[in-house]
Amino acid sequence: MPHINFEFKARTNNLDFLVKRLLELNPKYIGQDKQTDTYFNVAKGRLKLREGNIENALIYYERQNVANAKQSNVLLYQHQPDPSLKDILGKLHGIKVVVNKVRRIYFIENVKFHFDTIDELGTFVEVEAIDNTGNIGIEKLKEQCSKYAELFEIKSEDYISLSYSDMILERQAISKQRN
């Protein structure tokens, strides 16, 4: 079943400060996940296979690249790890890019918090207000994102418009131009 997220991603140089701010609200700690997200070539949206020690999912999503909180329409298939799935998707679509990260995951009600360290990119915070049922509504999701952006003291220049995959692809393109 598709669900709606309202979410933001922001660059930070102080993940520990942000985690401490969140811990004051007694979130549920899910754990630290070492994740590999393999993105596949698709005509529309984004398709990624997430492989981790906590989260394993095939995720299709559509989202605008804007540097602010934004809506994301998500289809999520959670599965048991199996290398055959990546092999099949790779043969069908081709691998676009791979993102490796270490992610600390927390929840407060329907809001998921990611504190990410990304190979080649640095450190980031992601906040996803999630409506799996259609009962919360987009306005409430927006309010939740605003509340946590304020808690984390996110400034407009901190917001990231691109996905991690796009950022890595940009870095690779710049590196190729220099060589």
In the block, which residue shows the tokens 């999701």? 141
Domain boundaries, the chain: 3-178
Tell whether pTM > 0.75.
Answer: yes
Q: For 54-112, what is each residue's pLDDT tens digit?
A: 999 999 998 877 777 878 888 889 999 899 999 999 999 999 999 999 999 999 999 99
The two tokens of residue 34 are 């070492």
For 116, other C-beta atoms within 10 Å of its C-beta total 22
pLDDT band at 23 (very low <50, low <70, confident <90, very high): very high
Secondary structure letter of residue 124 according to DSSP: E
Distance CA 53, CA 20 (A): 24
Left if phi > 0, otherwise alpha if psi is -120 to 50, otherwise beta: which for 105? Answer: beta
Distance CA 161, CA 169 (A): 14
Report the percent of the chain where pLDDT is more than 70: 98
CB-count exposure of residue 5 (10 Å: 0-12, 13-18, 19+): buried
Examine the pLDDT at 2 and tell me if it is beyond 90. no
**CB of 111 closer than 8 Å to CB of 131:** no
CATH, domain 3-178, list 2.30.110.10, 2.40.320.10, 3.40.1280.10, 3.40.50.261: 2.40.320.10
pLDDT band at 1 (very low <50, low <70, confident <90, very high): low
